[in-house]
């Protein structure tokens, strides 16, 4: 009887031990919000992160763009459904801070960043993970060579842009024009308006119109030729960055305030600044990584501006007013 009792006790303990060591039973779930063109991270990094931290990584990329995603986080402020938001730009960071939806975190891996100018938030509400120059991509069979930004004004319903109220690309394009034209930006937009074929809610919709031939030009990124060479071994379109200067977009990862798994969220922020994540950016996100990694051959075709322009904090802090003015011009 004693032997059977001991056997039963040992058996129970062994079963308990197995259950404790089963990752599927005790895995913490980390939820990440990102926009639809970042759905690649599901295949590229999900398994690696889960293996490293014995967790379940849920990646929600239902959103058209970062602006759409940010609105969702604001709506969920009292009961956050996600722990991480990807795609925060300097302009959108101001909106996020106004709504108090982000938590501060200073990653020890910030030292890996190759250019400290990419650290656009000294308070560490967001951590940069990629960057790239905005550009106009155009079909040279339909559009002649472009030199100045004002050349866009001469076009008749050829350009597709993204809505700055919903799209980070669209918002940064608006910031680009303000950086170039200062207080005169509204008059320039009135001139540009006649050349706009369509305003889409996000980049993916714009690209669909451009790729189908419906539009001859679109607001995009200076890495688009790298994409074309990688997939088609040819570069059929052209990139235009005006001689007045290019505009660099930086994207960051942030922890959502009230995140249910803050410690694991911090590990994710650390992770985006590692080689495992960063080396996946060039051929998936088509942006430049913020740490030094070996770059693919296709990026020899990526264009970098000789000169760049930027906006002041005063402008960034006035985004709501600027968007109202933009809306009055375009609608």
Give 16's pLDDT tier (boundaries 50, 70, 90).
Answer: very low
> N- to C-terminal Cα distance for the chain?
86
Per-residue pLDDT at 154 exceeds 90: no
Closest CA to 252 of 68, 118, 156: 118
Per-residue pLDDT at 293 exceeds 50: yes
Q: Is the dihedral of CA 239, 240, 245, 247 positive or negative?
A: negative
Range of lowest pLDDT (26-30, 38-42, 138-142, 231-235)? 26-30
pLDDT in tens, 96-131: 999 999 999 999 999 999 999 999 999 999 999 999
On the 0-12 / 13-18 / 19+ scale of CB atoms within 10 A, 282 is: buried
DSSP secondary-structure letter at 226?
H
pLDDT of residue 155: 86
pLDDT of residue 20: 40
The mean of the pLDDT values for the chain is 90
pLDDT in tens, 275-292: 999 999 999 999 999 999
Q: What percent of the chain has pLDDT over 90?
A: 79
pLDDT of residue 12: 40
Quick one: CATH architecture of 21-131+249-295?
3-Layer(aba) Sandwich (3.40)
Q: Measured in whole angstroms, how far is the alpha carbon of residue 316 from the centre of its chain? A: 18
CA atoms of 223 and 231, how far apart (whole Å):
13
Quick one: CATH architecture of 134-248+302-330?
3-Layer(aba) Sandwich (3.40)
Q: What percent of the chain has pLDDT over 70?
A: 92
Closest CA to 85 of 75, 72, 95, 94: 72
What is the enclosing helix (H) or strand (E) of 321?
Answer: helix 319-330
Closest CA to 287 of 277, 140, 147, 91: 277
| Cα angle, residue 264 at apex, residues 258 and 269 outer, rounded to 5° | 90
CA atoms of 220 and 237, how far apart (whole Å):
12
Closest CA to 219 of 149, 157, 170, 264: 170
| Residue ranges of domains in the chain | 21-131+249-295, 134-248+302-330
DSSP secondary-structure letter at 294?
P
> Looking at residues 207-235, what average pLDDT do you find?
95
pLDDT of residue 153: 84
Per-residue pLDDT at 19 exceeds 50: no
CA atoms of 249 and 29, how far apart (whole Å):
30
> Looking at residues 129-147, what average pLDDT do you find?
95
CA atoms of 167 and 186, how far apart (whole Å):
19
Range of lowest pLDDT (9-13, 51-55, 114-118, 178-182)? 9-13
Per-residue pLDDT at 5 exceeds 50: no
The pTM of the full predicted model, rounded to 2 decimals, is 0.87
pLDDT in tens, 250-274: 999 999 999 999 999 999 999 999 9
pLDDT of residue 270: 99
Number of Cβ atoms within 10 Å of the Cβ of 21: 10
Whose structure tokens read 């960063």?
A: 278
Per-residue pLDDT at 23 exceeds 80: no
pLDDT of residue 21: 41
Give 197's pLDDT tier (boundaries 50, 70, 90).
Answer: very high
Same fold, 21-131+249-295 and 134-248+302-330: yes
pLDDT of residue 265: 99
pLDDT of residue 307: 93
Give 26's pLDDT tier (boundaries 50, 70, 90).
Answer: low
CA atoms of 87 and 209, how far apart (whole Å):
23
pLDDT in tens, 62-83: 998 888 899 999 999 999 999 9
> Looking at residues 33-61, what average pLDDT do you find?
96
CA atoms of 329 and 104, how far apart (whole Å):
37
pLDDT of residue 278: 98
């Amino acid at each position: 009887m004693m032997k059977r009792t001991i056997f039963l006790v040992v058996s129970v303990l062994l079963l308990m031990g197995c259950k404790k060591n089963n990752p599927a039973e005790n895995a913490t779930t980390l939820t990440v919000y990102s926009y639809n063109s970042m759905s690649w991270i599901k295949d590229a990094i999900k398994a690696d992160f889960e293996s490293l931290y014995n967790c379940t990584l849920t990646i929600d990329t239902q959103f058209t763009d970062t602006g759409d995603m940010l609105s969702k986080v604001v709506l969920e402020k009292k009961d956050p459904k996600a722990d991480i938001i990807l795609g925060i730009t300097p302009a959108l960071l101001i909106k996020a801070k106004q709504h108090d939806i982000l938590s501060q975190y200073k990653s020890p891996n910030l030292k890996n960043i190759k250019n400290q100018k990419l650290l656009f938030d000294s308070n560490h509400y967001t951590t940069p993970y990629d960057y790239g120059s905005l550009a106009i991509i155009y079909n040279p069979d339909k559009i002649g060579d472009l030199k100045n930004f004002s050349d866009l004004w001469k076009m008749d319903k050829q350009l597709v842009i993204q809505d700055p109220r919903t799209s980070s690309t669209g918002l940064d394009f608006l910031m680009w024009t303000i950086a170039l034209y200062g207080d005169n930006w509204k008059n320039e937009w009135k001139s540009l308006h006649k050349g706009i074929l369509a305003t889409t809610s996000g980049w993916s919709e714009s690209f669909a119109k451009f790729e189908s031939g419906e539009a001859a030009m679109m607001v995009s990124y200076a890495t688009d030729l790298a994409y074309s060479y990688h997939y088609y071994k040819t570069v059929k379109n052209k990139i235009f960055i005006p001689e007045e200067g290019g505009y660099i977009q930086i994207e960051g990862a942030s922890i959502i305030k009230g995140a249910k798994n803050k410690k694991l969220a911090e590990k994710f922020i650390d992770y985006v600044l590692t080689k495992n994540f960063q080396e996946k950016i060039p051929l998936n996100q088509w942006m430049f990584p913020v740490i030094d990694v070996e770059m693919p051959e296709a990026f020899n075709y990526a264009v970098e501006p000789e000169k760049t322009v930027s906006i002041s904090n005063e402008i960034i802090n006035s985004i709501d007013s600027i968007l109202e003015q933009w809306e009055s011009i375009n609608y």
